[in-house]
Amino acid sequence: MRVLITGGAGFIGSHLCDYLLARGHEVICMDNLITGSTANIAHLAGYERFLFIKHDVTNYIFVEGPLDAVLHFASPASPIDYLEYPIQTLKVGALGTHKALGLAKDKKARFLLASTSEVYGDPLVHPQREDYWGNVNPIGPRGVYDEAKRFAEAMTMAYHRAHGVDTRIARIFNTYGPRMRLKDGRVVPNFVAQALRGEPLTVFGDGSQTRSFCYVSDLIEGIYRLLESEVTDPVNLGNPEEMSILEFAHKIVALTGSRSPIVFVQPEDARVRDDPKVRKPDITRARTLLGWQPQVSLEEGLRRTIEWFRDRV
């Protein structure tokens, strides 16, 4: 296949570039580098089947030659990012998705949208299934990301129904691994960096809020299986092993061998407004239709991630 990946220099996008190249595909990576980094794809420089284009996908996208698939991963993806770039986040979810879908339509290419568990908001249904419509505050500070992705899903389905574009929607739950930005504000890099520096691990609230963590290689395998499938409805991709943030903090301390204490903070911070109290995917659809489920244990995934961060803290 000849594939375009928007946001290809980001955390997940760059791993997707590696995966597709390893399988013999030709990859065009497009990124405006607001939150992505050329460091994530530097090892691919010189590959005959790899091309990087610096471009903002909210503007018209031109790609010369045929395309078999467009994978739309461009977007700020952490609270720190979409609070710093609220308008860019909305634009890439709306205009960027529109431009990417238009390209897929023109090239008669399969389109895959990287959506998110955030479309469920602070859920009133647990675990979250794809038929749950969510509980989202559209005017809260996190709404710029939640609603951008919800709109992107609606646009994707509209192109599928009105224009016959062959579409896929991946709802991605918390994912971690090498190439996460040290200061991206999410819990894995925050806790790992604090533990490796011997600083207190800062837990928001009482730490009872829950998350589930999927290692990046598992996620990428799920994305590829979805792309290759005939499933046009949204599919949850994540690890259903749920734990509290406080439990997670203790696990990080143990795996790093740190002596860092755990402290509880009550920040007056927009990042924690409308913060989901629970998050756990129901992956029945992925298991049944894709034959997919996570393979990497949390301990093994965290060990790999911690080793990657050790050289960068």
Catalytic residues: 145
Instruction: State how far the alpha carbon of 276 is from the alpha carbons of 59, 77, 122, 273, in Å.
Output: 33, 15, 4, 9
Q: Which amino acid is at 125?
A: V
Instruction: State how far the alpha carbon of 55 is from the alpha carbons of 59, 61, 62, 148, 243, in Å.
Output: 8, 8, 10, 20, 39
Backbone angles phi, psi at 214, to 5 degrees: -110, 130
Q: Which two tokens stand for residue 9?
A: 């220099």
> Using CA atoms, how far apart are residues 156 and 171, in angstroms rounded to an integer?
13
How many CB atoms neighbour CB 127 within 10 A? 20
Residue from 224, 218, 74, 80 nearest 149 by CA: 74
**Does the CA dihedral 39-43-48-49 come out positive or negative?**
negative
Instruction: State how far the alpha carbon of 292 is from the alpha carbons of 211, 223, 239, in Å.
Output: 20, 10, 11
> Using CA atoms, how far apart are residues 279 and 211, in angstroms rounded to an integer?
5
How would you label 137-160 residue by residue, b for 16+ Cβ within 10 Å and e otherwise?
A: eeeebbbbbbbbbbbbbebbbebb
